[in-house]
Structure 1
Amino acid sequence: MSGRYGQCVVKSAALRGVEAYPVDVEVVVSTGLPGVTVVGMADAAVHESRERVRAALRACGFTMPTDKVVVNLAPSSLKKAGAGFDLPIALGILQATGQLDPALTENRLFVGELSLEGGLREVAGTLAFGICALRHGLGLVAAAGAPQVPLEGLEQLSLARIGALHPGGEGLVPVRGAPPGRCAVEALDYSDIAGHEVAKRALQIAAAGRHGLLMMGPPGSGKTMLASRMTTILPPLTEEEKLESAVVHSVAGEPTDAILSGARPFRSPHHSASQAGLVGGGTPVRPGEISLAHHGILFLDELAEFKSSVLQSIRQPMESGCACITRADGNVVLPADFMLLAASNPCPCGYLGDAEHACKCTDLQVKTYQGRIGGPILDRISIHLDIPRLPPSAVLSTGSGTSSAQLRDGVLAAREYASWRNATAGRPGTGARMRAPDLVAACRMDGVTQAFLEEMAQTCAMSGRSIIGLLSVARTIADMEQRPAVVRDHLAEALGFRLREGVGNL
């Protein structure tokens, strides 16, 4: 296509963490040595787009220019990664060489990976790209298989293959469809678990106030079964929570249908997970398990088996609700507002304290094993729970226990009362997310109750964080009873869920 020179700009976007930022794909065709040059802080996958674009255009009957083609991805200060720039680069070349109507790319944001035959493949982060497009008043054009973005006012179009842009082709197709329906999930219910009524009570309190909970007991005592049903007693996601959580999953390349239908995420990473896998990291930065559990449950089974450095890395996100990944080019903040459930055996053999199996571990082995969890993590978990092994009669009574519906009713009532109480008093936040001064004021303790708390804290050598955690659990227990003030009985029950032999110091 020698002798036809031009330039154009096509809108696209680049991911940084879980947010998409607009990128101008500037294409210039001019005299010079034949070839395609991509500049603007592009990674290897973006540079490889030159070959994919060249093959796709030829396969679809377009002409690849034999002149010099320069592609600039602006702003150059933002790193660009992935194959999503294939489509805007191809459209820029076609428009700069006069093979494409410029009106097609006006006020639209394009993302998509090209196959060598010209087909378009979906890329991770469609929801994030849709949010970016809507924020800047643009429509979104993605692959035909990309999910619908549930944003009112967003024009979403699809393209099956680049050859459809020929005159007379089907061109860009509007995406129309109903919002995702309720996803079929395995029917789990707490009624499946007979006995463990104290554990169910603790889980209900944890769900009502979003408190962290650690279960410790011998193998087969039911720790995992109890944890896996936690989402069945939590309220469904709000519309805002759906979008926030779904964006994280979209960027990570995970399915979003269940989340967009209201189901809270439940993540259970293996204890061999790396720090980047748990907290997030890599190049480009990818969300970790704590971000994938945003507005849901993070269940760490076999807690003592996690590497100490990996486990300690979640301390800051547990309190702040976000993970800050630091890189040479700046910080990336990932959402990580999760509820922590954890389970562990009490010793290497697992049978410490079991009435039916003798523990074979020495005192040093037990202390070393439990010490792997670490005091700072334990200090941030408000509820500690022993899970004993059930007798055979209780195991055979499965299906007769307290149901998830009964527990959920208590959780919803407690949260509704807490929201009303805080709104009436003008206090932001609920449960474990309340500021310490607001929490102390919300407890409305009288002099006798406060003296009891101070005596307990002094006797048990509780840290400041432990005292606030104890108060938070007690406030939740009072909310479940719809009581305006925390009394001695609430503090005593909260302390019973805080203290347990052998876990470690408060």
Structure 2
Amino acid sequence: MLVKVYGAAVFGIEATTIAVEVNIDAGIGYHLVGLPDNAVRESSYRISAALKNNNYKLPGKKIIINMAPADIRKEGAAYDLTLAVGILAASNQIKSSAIAAYMMMGELSLDGSLQSIRGALPIALKAKEDGFKYLILPKENAKEAAIVSDLEILGAENILEVIQHFNDQKKILPTQVDSKAEFYKNIDFPEFDFSDVKGQESIKRCMEIAAAGGHNIILIGPPGSGKTMLAKRLPSILPPMTLEEALETTKIHSVVGNTKNEGLLYQRPFRSPHHTISNVALVGGGQYPRPGEISLSHNGVLFLDELPEFKRDVLEVLRQPLEDREITISRAKFTVRYPCSFMLVASMNPSPSGFFNDPNAPRTSSPQEMQRYLSKISGPLLDRIDLHIEVTPVPFEKLSEEIKGASSAAIRKRVTAARELQSSRFKAFKNVHYNAQMNVKQLGEFCMLSNESKTLLKTAMEKLSLSARAYDRILKVSRTIADLAIATEISPDHIAEAIQYRSLDREGWLG
């Protein structure tokens, strides 16, 4: 008897429907074709044990299974449930009359329990797109997949529940999630709050500007000055994710298995990889490509602490994704694309000793040592960082104050208002949503300067020996400062504030 059941393969962050054709005939043997990898081939042992331990059996006949389309590689143990149900239906151990309305995926343990899988959300979206009415998944993945409307998600703990469901003995109840209600209920409760930070008002202002315009930022200061503390609080002042952004972010995290029992991700991601990370782990890839840290930071923040400690070749692979906001990974037989629109936040000490060239510091470094240390970061990478800010230690008087600073919620209101202005300004441009994404043409259109502002910028570039690459960055940051002030035109005050955020471009910064 021939039976067709359906599963899905995930490539990048999209899924492809896989038809599993099971034919049982006279003879002996188990033949699995359709480009399965080793984990899929080993499924026969798991299926056999799982069925036997639940009082069912693998038929002692000739079983031929084809996984179509045959030119797509099938990876992992998530096809166990699909194959097992196909075998049970083809051997008349379960009813197969309604099986075409189901897509199913799940990894089997030897006792028949179902283990969680990766990519449940992309699979659910594909099931809905292809017209399936039901999707059977391990119970751990049900909440995540239930985000998708107009598709009944059936979360099963073991294969016996699935068998009883098809045999009309005990139906699996659909998992219900009101994704909009969950999303808006949890959106305004960040884990870290800017009110916890004592002092550092000028740095907070700089972080607010970075959040409002989507600008990349680097914090330079001695140990204990609060660089990491400030960086961790940046997501709390970014505008709340839209439902579409949350769905796209959840899809990426689903592919790597980061969403078990969580459902929709409602907070912007914050990723902080260690400086020993490889370039493949950072941008994604591998023999069977998976998203890297830059894609897991999509719609959020990528924080690189101790930037000069990262390998230079690792940092250099960031240059193209920072510009294109997506990464393309090519193999001989396929290409996958991962989105990676993130804010880069980097921090570093100014020298190997950790302190500026200050005779009063506990340890100090010479200007030559500081220059050698900073030269580990290439000019092209610094060119893509809009804001450079020096972070100085907080004095005791500020640390001992009982008064709390502005909360993240208050700062976020100002940031969101500025972003709304930018969204309105760039609505005619497909790939531009905030100031940091402006190109040269848009700079000329939206960053017009008065004669007074031009004179100030010219004088600053000459007096401070600012590099040519600083010019566009200053204009973008000035536009954001004007947006925060709800100002139509860029004033000399906005230009003056933007200039002070280009520390690393100044000649003689090292003393």
Q: TM-score, normalised by structure 1?
A: 0.91
* TM-aligned CA distance change 1:94 to 1:295, over 3 Å: same
- Unpaired segments of 5 or more residues in structure 1? 1-5
* TM-aligned CA distance change 1:304 to 1:409, over 3 Å: same
Q: Could you tell me whether the CA contact under 8 Å between 1:246 and 1:256 is conserved in 2?
A: no
* TM-aligned CA distance change 1:248 to 1:349, over 3 Å: same
Give the SS at the match of 1:490.
helix
TM-aligned CA deviation for residue 67 of structure 1: 2.1
Identify the residue that residue 42 of structure 1 maps to in structure 2. 36
* TM-aligned CA distance change 1:45 to 1:446, over 3 Å: same
Identify the residue that residue 275 of structure 1 maps to in structure 2. 279
- Written as runs of structure 1 = structure 2, the 5 A alignment for 1:37-436 is 37-138=31-132, 139-148=134-143, 149-164=146-161, 165-166=163-164, 167=167, 169-179=169-179, 180=182, 182=186, 187-255=191-259, 260=264, 262-354=266-358, 356-397=360-401, 399-423=403-427, 428-436=432-440
TM-aligned CA deviation for residue 52 of structure 1: 0.8
Q: Could you tell me whether the CA contact under 8 Å between 2:212 and 2:480 is conserved in 1?
A: yes
Partners of 1:403 and 1:185 in 2: CA distance: 12
Indicate the larger mover: 188-197 or 217-226.
Answer: 188-197
Indicate the larger mover: 341-350 or 282-291.
Answer: 282-291
* TM-aligned CA distance change 1:177 to 1:400, over 3 Å: closer
Indicate the larger mover: 148-157 or 361-370.
Answer: 361-370
* TM-aligned CA distance change 1:187 to 1:174, over 3 Å: closer
Q: Which amino acid aligns with 2:103?
A: L
Aligned residues: 498
TM-aligned CA deviation for residue 361 of structure 1: 3.2
Give the SS at the match of 2:141.
coil
* TM-aligned CA distance change 1:72 to 1:408, over 3 Å: same
* TM-aligned CA distance change 1:186 to 1:59, over 3 Å: same
Give the SS at the match of 1:131.
helix
Measured against aligned partners, the alpha-carbon deviations of 1:137-162 in whole angstroms (never above 9, x if no partner) come to: 11321112323221221221222322
* CA RMSD after TM alignment: 2.6
* TM-aligned CA distance change 1:38 to 1:46, over 3 Å: same
TM-aligned CA deviation for residue 14 of structure 1: 0.6
Identify the residue that residue 485 of structure 2 maps to in structure 1. 481
Partners of 2:507 and 2:48 in 1: CA distance: 65
TM-aligned CA deviation for residue 434 of structure 1: 2.7
Give the SS at the match of 2:140.
coil
Partners of 2:332 and 2:15 in 1: CA distance: 19
Partners of 1:10 and 1:258 in 2: CA distance: 28
TM-aligned CA deviation for residue 475 of structure 1: 0.8
Taking only the aligned residue pairs, the percentage that are identical comes to 37
* TM-aligned CA distance change 1:173 to 1:355, over 3 Å: farther
Indicate the larger mover: 92-101 or 444-453.
Answer: 444-453
Give the SS at the match of 1:73.
strand
Partners of 2:260 and 2:55 in 1: CA distance: 36
Q: Which amino acid aligns with 1:71?
A: I
Give the SS at the match of 1:156.
strand
Q: Could you tell me whether the CA contact under 8 Å between 2:142 and 2:153 is conserved in 1?
A: no
Identify the residue that residue 2 of structure 2 maps to in structure 1. 7
Measured against aligned partners, the alpha-carbon deviations of 1:176-200 in whole angstroms (never above 9, x if no partner) come to: 2444463997753222222211101
Indicate the larger mover: 272-281 or 250-259.
Answer: 250-259
Partners of 2:483 and 2:187 in 1: CA distance: 32
Q: Could you tell me whether the CA contact under 8 Å between 1:353 and 1:359 is conserved in 2?
A: no
TM-aligned CA deviation for residue 504 of structure 1: 8.7
* TM-aligned CA distance change 1:257 to 1:86, over 3 Å: closer
Identify the residue that residue 496 of structure 1 maps to in structure 2. 500
TM-aligned CA deviation for residue 213 of structure 1: 0.4
2:422 is equivalent to residue 438 of structure 1: no
Identify the residue that residue 28 of structure 1 maps to in structure 2. 23
Q: Which amino acid aligns with 2:174?
A: P
Identify the residue that residue 16 of structure 1 maps to in structure 2. 11
Give the SS at the match of 1:407.
helix
Q: Which amino acid aligns with 2:173?
A: V
Give the SS at the match of 1:37.
strand
TM-aligned CA deviation for residue 53 of structure 1: 1.1
Measured against aligned partners, the alpha-carbon deviations of 1:325-347 in whole angstroms (never above 9, x if no partner) come to: 22222221111111111100111
Give the SS at the match of 1:146.
helix
Indicate the larger mover: 427-436 or 288-297.
Answer: 427-436
TM-aligned CA deviation for residue 355 of structure 1: 6.0
Identify the residue that residue 462 of structure 1 maps to in structure 2. 467
Q: TM-score, normalised by structure 2?
A: 0.90
Give the SS at the match of 1:147.
helix
Partners of 1:434 and 1:235 in 2: CA distance: 19
* TM-aligned CA distance change 1:202 to 1:96, over 3 Å: same
